[in-house]
Chain A
Amino acid sequence: MATVTTPPRSGTPSPAGTSAGGGRASIARWRDTLLRPRTLVAVAVTVVVGYLALVPLGYLLLTTFTDADGFSLGGFARAYGDPRIGELIGNSLWFAVGSALLSLAVGTALAYFNVRTDVPFKALFFAASIIPLIIPGILYTIAWIFLASPTIGLLNSLLEPVFGPGTFDVFTVWGMIWVEGLHLSPIAFLFMVAAFRSTDPSLEESALMSGATRVQTFRRVTLPLVRPALLSAALIMLVRSLESFEVPALLGLQNGIYVFTSRIYQVLRSFPVDFAGAGALAVGLLAVAALGIWLSNVLSRDHGGGTITGKGFRPRPIDLGRWKPAVGGGILLYFFVTVLAPLLVLLYTALLPYYRPPSAEAFASMSLDNFVAVFNLPTVPTALRNSLLLGGGAATIVMALMAVAAWVVVRSGIPGRQVLDHIAFSPLVIPGLVLGVGIAFVYLRSPLPIYGTLLILLIAYCTRYLPYGMRYAVSGMQTVSAELEESAQVSGAGWWATFRRVLLPLIAPALVAGWVYIFVVSFRELSSSILLYTPGNEVLSISIWELYANARFGELSALGVIMVLILAVLVAVAYKVGARVGLKSD
Chain B
Amino acid sequence: MSRRSALIGLGAAGLLVLSGCGGAPTSGGPASGEPSAAEAVYTEVTALTGTERRDRLVQLAAEEGNRLSIYTSMNADIADIVVPRFEQEFGIDVELYRADSETILQRTLQEASANFAGADVVETNATEMAIIASEGLTGDYAGEQRDKINEQFRYDGWTPTRFNIFAPAWNTGLVGADLVPRTWEDLADPKYDGILSLEVSDYDWYMTLYTHYQEQGMADADIDRLFADMVQGSKVAKGHSGQVELLSAGEFGVVAASYTYLTEKARAAGAPVDDQPFVEPVVARANGGGLMRSSEHPATAVLFMDWMLADGQGVILENGLTPAVMPDGTDPLAGHEVLPVDVQKLLDEGNEWSARYDEVVRGGEQLPEN
Contacts and interface: CB of A to CB of B under 8 A. Distances in A.
A552 B80 CA distance: 15
A355 B250 CA distance: 9
Interface residues of A, number: 85
Interface string A431-463: 001001110111011100001000000000000
B370 to A, nearest CB: 7
Interface in A498-526: none
Interface in B48-96: 75-77, 80, 95-96
Contacts of B97: 533-535
A573 interface: no
Interface stretch (B108-116, B221-229, B300-308): B108-116
Contacts of A437: 25, 106, 110
B106 A531 contact: yes
A62 B18 CA distance: 8
Contact of A273 (B19, B26, B100, B365): B26
B354 A269 contact: yes
A329 to B, nearest CB: 32
Given A270-B350, A444-B116, A551 B245 contact: yes
A51 B100 CA distance: 29
B152 interface: no
A11 to B, nearest CB: 16
Contact of B262 (A152, A444, A534, A551): A551
A269 B76 contact: no
B307 to A, nearest CB: 19
A199 to B, nearest CB: 35
B285 interface: no
A446 B20 CA distance: 10
A150 B262 contact: no
A271 B350 contact: yes
Interface stretch (A234-242, A249-257, A318-326, A333-341): A249-257
Contacts of B200: 249, 253
Contacts of A16: 3
Interface string A526-557: 00001101111000001001101111111000
A54 B102 contact: no
Contacts of A441: 17, 20, 25, 110, 114
A365 interface: yes
Contacts of A51: 9-10, 13
B216 interface: no
Contacts of B98: 542, 546
A275 B26 contact: yes
Given A34-B2, A150-B370, A275-B26, A54 B238 contact: no
Given A257-B365, A272-B131, A530-B99, A250 B354 contact: no
Nearest to A68: B24
Q: Which residue among B16, B25, B366 has the maximum number of chain A CB atoms within 10 Å of its CB?
A: B25
Nearest to A54: B13
Interface string B1-41: 11101100110011011111101111100000000000000
A58 interface: yes
A67 B26 CA distance: 10
Contacts of B265: 550-551
Contacts of A554: 269
A271 B249 contact: no
Q: Which residue among A14, A433, A535 has the maximum number of chain B CB atoms within 10 Å of its CB?
A: A535
Contact of B242 (A14, A142, A272, A275): A142
A550 B239 CA distance: 11
Contacts of A546: 75-76, 98
Interface string A344-368: 0000000001111100000001000
B241 A548 contact: yes
A62 B22 CA distance: 11
B144 interface: no
A54 B10 contact: yes
A59 B17 contact: yes
A379 B76 CA distance: 10
Interface in A1-38: 14-16, 31, 34-35
A445 B249 CA distance: 48
Contact of A149 (B102, B103, B251): B251
A34 B4 CA distance: 10
A353 B270 contact: yes
Nearest to A58: B17
Contacts of A151: 250-251
A585 interface: no
Nearest to B17: A58
Q: Which residue among B24, B354, B358 has the maximum number of chain A CB atoms within 10 Å of its CB?
A: B24
B179 to A, nearest CB: 16
Given A151-B251, A531-B106, A58 B14 contact: yes
Interface in A252-272: 253-258, 266, 268-272
Interface in B352-370: 354, 358, 361-362, 364-367, 369-370
B46 interface: no
B175 interface: no
Interface string A403-434: 00000000000000000000000000000010
A14 B13 CA distance: 22
A114 interface: no
A273 B17 contact: no
A172 interface: yes
B315 interface: no
A542 B76 CA distance: 10
A50 B201 contact: no
A271 B114 contact: no
Contacts of A85: none
Contacts of A377: 76
Contact of A356 (B105, B250, B354): B250
B351 interface: yes
A438 to B, nearest CB: 8
Nearest to A534: B97
Given A66-B24, A354-B266, A446-B16, A271 B244 contact: no
Contacts of B75: 546, 549-550
Contact of B100 (A145, A172, A446, A530): A530
A269 B3 CA distance: 43
Contact of B24 (A58, A63, A257, A433): A63
Contact of B236 (A58, A256, A275): A256
B114 A68 contact: no
Contacts of B370: 150
A54 B265 CA distance: 45
Contacts of A396: none
16 contacts: A43-B2, A55-B17, A58-B18, A145-B246, A145-B251, A151-B250, A152-B249, A253-B238, A256-B362, A257-B365, A378-B80, A440-B111, A444-B114, A546-B76, A551-B242, A553-B245
Given A54-B14, A354-B270, 9 more contacts: A51-B10, A55-B13, A255-B365, A270-B351, A356-B271, A357-B250, A441-B17, A444-B116, A535-B95
9 closest cross-chain pairs (CB), A and B: A256-B365, A58-B17, A551-B241, A444-B114, A47-B9, A354-B271, A249-B238, A51-B13, A546-B76
